[in-house]
Chain A
Amino acid sequence: MPLSTLLNLFGRSPFVALQSHMDAVSLCVHKLKDLCEALEKKDYALLEQIANEISSLEHTADVIKNDLRNHLPKSLILPIGRENLLEILTIQDRIADCAEDMAITCTLKRLEILPIFSGVFKLFLHKNIETFDKAEAVIRELHELIESSFGGIEAEDVRTMINEVAYHEHEVDLIQRQLLKEFFLAGEQMNHVSFYQWISLFESIGSISNLSENLAYRVRMTLEVQ
């Protein structure tokens, strides 16, 4: 019996690729901070450059995503459902898309942060990134979860982490309400185009935390806890 029989039995674990996809997405999302700084400083050349960087990072994530999808034959036995895994991947990818959307929206027309809502806007962005970080930590735990076979104390830990993501998402909602209030107050100081640009920017940013929460709940569905 040649040794390849047993070796062929062990397929390429999709969780490693899932993790590296998440790393790429994380780079995208974290670039948004730099983007915000550039926006504040009104350094539009830098803004353009960062937006391009985010765009290319998003493409890297896409490549990993496609590679993972193509190497996930039906014949693999996985510890979590295939559809769960693909859904997790899709949500991760949509987060990267949101980051890219925000970056692109910033570059479409020169944008100015008005002092009246600049503080709460930065808070909003950072809270979104924080929510994403919490979700990323959940994905990082997947590897440990395989070891505990998706149950036990490890799963309890992950469940706590997932609740944290949900709590952060709720906080983001509260901040968003505050942000919109202040933003509408400043409505008279800008033209319609900028107004629309800001609104779509908020939407892209807000999606990051919403998707992070979805992502966390998807992982929650794979756990064996009460």
Chain B
Amino acid sequence: MDTVLLVVILLTGFYMAWNIGANDVANAMGTSVGSGALTLRQAVLVAAILEFSGAFFFGSHVSKTMQSGIINPDLFLSDPKILVYGMLASLASAGIWLQMASYFGWPVSTTHSIVGAIVGFGLAVGGVHAIYWGNVGYIVSTWIFSPILGGIIAYYIFTFIRKKILYTLNPFESACKVTPFIVFFLVAVLTSILVFEGFRNVQFTISNTEKGFVVFIAGLVGAVISHFLLRRMSSLQTVKVEAQFSPEVVESLQKAKKHLEKVKGKTTGELQYKVDLITQEVTNLSTFLDHQREQISHTHGEYSKVERIFGYLQIISACMMAFAHGANDVANAIGPLSAAVEILTTGIFAIEAPIPLWALALGGTGIVIGLATWGWRVMDTIGKKITELTPSRGFAAEFGAAATIVLASRFGMPVSTTHTLVGAVLGVGLARGLGAVNLNTTRDILISWLVTVPIGALLAIILFYPIHLIFG
């Protein structure tokens, strides 16, 4: 019976990870596809690599919280198997609720469902005292603060971009000057996450000064590389493609069209037919030229050059986003799973034991498979529909969200990636970055908070008893 239970748990956990990869990754990365910073293929590749590394190297903090930060495992010492059933019930309840939410299109977060489910099962089985209410309070407060913090960071990043690049008299040159500093900052943040925290679970220890040194050097290398790349880009930019014709050409064609139409009106029969053919040809030619001229003037605007630079920067922020997402969301599947598996295999649950690496790898793999089998499709849809986010806006939003999520992951706080990203996009909107941002989404998110936790809890309780009956 235990083997069957083990298989069921692994399958459910894997299904959760698959679900995260299939639906949530698209929200994290779709903005990059939408802004054209990454093609769909590149985005899927980047997401796969970084989601996995985020989950593998950095996923243990939040997983730990899920495992033993919400309910007190000591209460189950007499019959640890109860905890196994509970974790399975939590996973299943979150899975069912998410499926329903996807079907109806509600902005429900994986994180909120699983936390709600664990709290519900803990309440039902262990009573009020089984729950660490203080921790749950912290977690809930991070759900509120993470979108706000994401918004604030994105707001200031975009304000910085505005003041230092967009508002200068030569935006492209300013962008070339400022970008190495941004890259330094970005790479330093990324490597400090990795060096200070990430390698803990792979036994890779160096002293703090050395770590600081590594971070500084990595940032510097990034900045220097970006500097040279930018120099190459600006020398390429000087070769401008001029329009092959003057605007008068277009105007003359318009006039010719007008006169031809006059002729057409005054003639009949075969002559009119012939004139009509010529008119059509002229119309085609003039729309073609118009289109070409528009394209040339569009692609050679000063701002579009700036956006191209931000396209490259956004690749880095997208990586950060994927990493942060993997680090935070893998816990939703792996936290309950690894606790259950540990009890099943060893018979006891050791609170101090680290999250096993194989579990993190399993979660990472599940996310990547979800992405490969379904998530890319969702990403494509989102990418095609979000065209308002140009690379500079996308960069600000992604950076704000990713920084917040990484910070939350460091403190073991399970937050919702999408809600944080929504907050960040609102921040960019408030900084005069976007045409129209709809605040109504925040209302939907608020409702989903209020609904998801109780429903997740209720479902977990309902599922717990049949599972207990079947396997107990």
Contact = CB atoms under 8 A, between A and B. Distances in A.
Contacts of A4: 105, 107
B212 interface: no
A88 to B, nearest CB: 15
B116 interface: no
Most B CB atoms within 10 A — which of A13, A14, A15?
Answer: A13
A158 B388 CA distance: 22
Interface string B301-329: 11100000000000000000000000000
A8 to B, nearest CB: 5
Given A1-B107, A152-B167, A224-B167, A13 B435 contact: yes
Contact of A6 (B102, B382, B440): B382
Contact of A154 (B106, B303, B416, B429): B303
Contacts of A152: 166-169, 171
A109 interface: no
B435 A79 contact: yes
Contact of A151 (B108, B162, B390, B429): B162
Contacts of B158: 149
Interface residues of A, number: 35
A75 B106 CA distance: 19
A76 B27 contact: no
A77 B434 contact: yes
Contacts of B302: 153
A129 B388 CA distance: 34
B445 interface: yes
Contact of A10 (B23, B417, B434): B434
Interface residues of B, number: 55
A12 B438 CA distance: 9
Contacts of B429: 77, 79
B440 A148 contact: no
Interface stretch (B40-48, B241-249, B420-428): B420-428
A188 interface: no
A63 interface: no
Contact of A12 (B162, B171, B433, B436): B436
Nearest to A72: B436
Nearest to B377: A3
B329 to A, nearest CB: 10
Contacts of A79: 429, 432-435
B444 A9 contact: no
Contacts of A2: 23, 101-102, 105-108
A1 B108 contact: yes
A144 B166 CA distance: 12
A72 B386 CA distance: 20
Given A1-B23, A2-B23, A151-B167, A7 B303 contact: no
A192 B418 CA distance: 72
Interface in B213-227: none
A28 to B, nearest CB: 20
B169 A153 contact: yes
A146 interface: yes
A147 interface: yes
A14 B432 contact: no
21 contacts: A2-B107, A3-B23, A3-B27, A3-B30, A3-B382, A5-B27, A5-B445, A6-B421, A6-B422, A10-B437, A11-B435, A14-B435, A73-B440, A77-B437, A77-B439, A78-B435, A79-B435, A149-B431, A149-B432, A151-B167, A224-B167
List the 10 shortest-distance A-B pairs measured between CB atoms, nearest first.
A13-B435, A11-B436, A75-B439, A11-B438, A5-B107, A151-B167, A79-B432, A77-B429, A77-B437, A152-B167
